[in-house]
Amino acid sequence: METNDFSKAGLGGENIAERAELARKLGRFLDLERPPDERSEVERLALIVATDSELKVRKILVQELRTCRFIPAELAKKIADDVEDVAGPFLLDTEQLALETLEEIAYQCGDGARQILARRAYLPEPVSFVITEVGAEKAVCNLMANPTAELSERVCLKVNQRFAESDEIMERLTKRTDLPLSVIDVLIHRIADRWRDHLIQTYDLAPDFASYIWGQTRSKALIEAINAAKEPERLAYLKRVHREGGLEGNLILQMLQQGEIECFKLAMAVRARAPLANIEIILEDHSDLAFERLLEKAGIESTLAPIFASTFKEKAGLA
């Protein structure tokens, strides 16, 4: 197929069948490796066809581009801003859209394009971030409902920053099952802070009591996050929480009070900077003295040893 095959085609002519055939040929030509000058001319013609007044012609072009390996960014953006009957199949089904092209579409095209793009399977994280950065509520809502879209900590932080008051978006975000632990921790802080402030303002509670309720909630959510994580990820996550000052003694005690013995052991290993096996050896002795040694090693007030010891024996069925 040569570029002169297109020279006789009536671009913008009245014969729809000829324009449809031209769209088909252009789509196929773009999938070929051709000299730059030939490709440049065909890309110019394809941009014209992408604005054809006949919907059928534009849909045929998109049909041919679905498996095309070389789609120019300008052509992709032109199609992405078309009506949904054209933009939908293009953005959702075209296999070889480059990451840079997807980012340009997310940044530069209208929100209608972003709403569709947000539903694309296995959407890369950089594109997800652009949608959360510049997209309107509907586009971001579609992104949160897309189970295969890649979400990162920065994506979730941007969602929280822009749409914290959108119940629909936040509900869809918190119902996802693929969030990394770092993201879960961000959500824990966000939800807990709002609840703490609400308790203080609505019921005129003492700040200490509201903080206690807040701590109980965060402890439960933290435990759920740890239990849901894969084994290698748990220690790394707890170490990060500890580095940020979040693995306090009262939080570890709450783990124990809730019967989460394994979480308790992991947390103590992180605080004490000791292998888990060493912690388990110490715990074989259930005495107050053993817990005093353990708490000192972990940098926790040793006077709490009797509380830790009695709680451990009760929850471990040793009392």
What is residue 111's predicted lDDT score, i.e. its pLDDT? 96
Q: 199: pLDDT confidence band, cut at 50, 70 and 90?
A: very low
Q: 141: pLDDT confidence band, cut at 50, 70 and 90?
A: very high
Question: Across the chain, how many H-helices and E-strands are there?
Answer: 19, 0
Nearest 5 degrees, angle CA 195-CA 198-CA 200?
110
The per-residue pLDDT of the chain, averaged, comes to 84
Task: Using the predicted structure, report yes or no on whether residue 214 has a pLDDT greater than 60.
Answer: no
**In terms of Cα–Cα distance, which of 94, 73, 84, 13 is closest to 49?**
13
What is residue 207's predicted lDDT score, i.e. its pLDDT? 58
What is residue 95's predicted lDDT score, i.e. its pLDDT? 87
- What pTM did the predictor assign? 0.65
* Burial label, 278 (beta-carbon count in 10 A; 0-12, 13-18, 19+): middle
Say which DSSP state 32 is in. Answer: S
CB within 8 Å of 161: residues ≥ 6 apart: none
Per-domain boundaries in the chain: 3-145, 183-315
CB within 8 Å of 51: residues ≥ 6 apart: 58, 78
Per the CB < 8 A criterion, the answer to whether 224 and 216 are in contact is no
Per the CB < 8 A criterion, the answer to whether 214 and 195 are in contact is yes
| Interval 11-45: pLDDT, tens | 556 788 888 998 999 988 888 888 888 888 889 99
Task: Report the alpha-carbon distance of residue 7 to residue 305 in Å, rounded.
Answer: 88
* Burial label, 171 (beta-carbon count in 10 A; 0-12, 13-18, 19+): exposed
Task: Report the alpha-carbon distance of residue 315 to residue 130 in Å, rounded.
Answer: 48
* For range 186-201, the mean pLDDT: 56
What is residue 187's predicted lDDT score, i.e. its pLDDT? 66
